[in-house]
Structure 1
Amino acid sequence: MPHGLPRKIRVLVADDQTLVRTGFRVILEAEDDIEVVAEADTGTEAIRQSELTSPDVILMDIRMPELDGLAATEQILRRPDPPTIVVLTTFDQNEYVYRALHAGAAGFLLKDAPSSRLIAAVRAAATGDSLIEPSITRRLLERFAAPAPSTGPPPELAALTDRELDVLRLIARGLSNAEIAADLFVAETTVKTHVARILTKLGIRDRVQAVVLAYRTGFAPRDSP
């Protein structure tokens, strides 16, 4: 790449369906700031290509031969400075997606999502601002989490300030940093600072874990919009 130009987001697409991989490649490489550096049709190959190409973001299917996406995700994320992994899913894979999030995946995307969401998810993942589909988040967490009624912030969130609680509530709704900034009438950099402090205070890895915690403690109601 010529000197002075920003580095492109490097993406690895892991899916056992050739048409899916090809479609994602065509969509992503039409963008000036994204390049697909490798493809993989098994979990084992995803691990190998991740080591060979050092992608920034991996789009990881769950159901693949040899080694599934869950096991591949776990192995890849054990390495120092791993890429960000976004799980590819369908509505009939709730159990797998929930396990993938606990394995360390940064988010999940429907395979039939519009191209604009795919591009947005890759860009968000590359900056640490995972794009989480609110409807899928609620569907998953309402099934697997066990929130208890609460009249105020649960004890697990006692270290957070009122503004940090506001940010966490919006994170739980699936909003991006930019959307939270607009909702709270603050700068996006301010939101990023709040998110970083929330993760540090709660001792969690990423905003996906923050969503899970918000639902598990009952802080985010099940009918949250």
Structure 2
Amino acid sequence: MPRKADHVARRRQLADALMRLAASQGLEAVSLRHVAAEAGVSTGMVQHYFRTKDEMMTFALDMVMRDAQERITAEAAAAGRALTPAEFVRTLMIQILPLDEPRRLEGHVTLAFLAYAAVKPAIAEGLRGSTDQMHTFLAGQIRAVQATTGTAARVDPVHAATALLALVDGLGIHVLSQHYSGEQAVAALDAHLGLLFGSTPDPPANIPPADTTVDPPAGIG
């Protein structure tokens, strides 16, 4: 068991180093050698855990998604009750927005990964699967909201999920570029959810508001 735990911890250490480099330099400038230097280990150590840069990048993106899922689960638990579909949609979208330092780092990594995937068909294919899962889940939640509020005729859930993901991705880019503040992004999201659901879902009780005032890490943005 300790060996397995050490193995997971080491892979996470290397993925964290990759994320820091990707956020500050972009993925094209990142190599196994650069990651080794950032993590304070040998290149051979990196190659022991990841055979290629693409393999390491895929692991890092999976880690970003797992961390986001853990935060969503923690927020749902903090509410002390089951979230409504509308609340869950808002919670999920808020976690995608780069509203604090960890999410800013994740946002930069995701953006760099998308640019990299644009010229790497194999990477793009794997990313498409994750996006499809998110889209399907969102459409299901929107459909559940419509069923309970009588707004089913307003918009197709599939199209609504597509628009919502595009909105949050766009807002995230503008926040990372410091064109919009975190508060402006959340206000725009809530306005859209109000149009979509007929009213804006309130943040679940007992959950502290997102930190929308943290400055980007040095060298980013």
Decide: shared fold, TM above 0.5.
Answer: no
Q: Specify the structure having the higher radius of gyration (Cα).
A: 2
Q: Greater helix percent: which structure? A: 2
Higher relative contact order, chain-length normalized (CA < 8 Å, sep 6+): 2
Structure with the higher fraction of residues in strand conformation: 1
TM score, norm. by length of structure 1: 0.28
TM-score by length of 2: 0.28
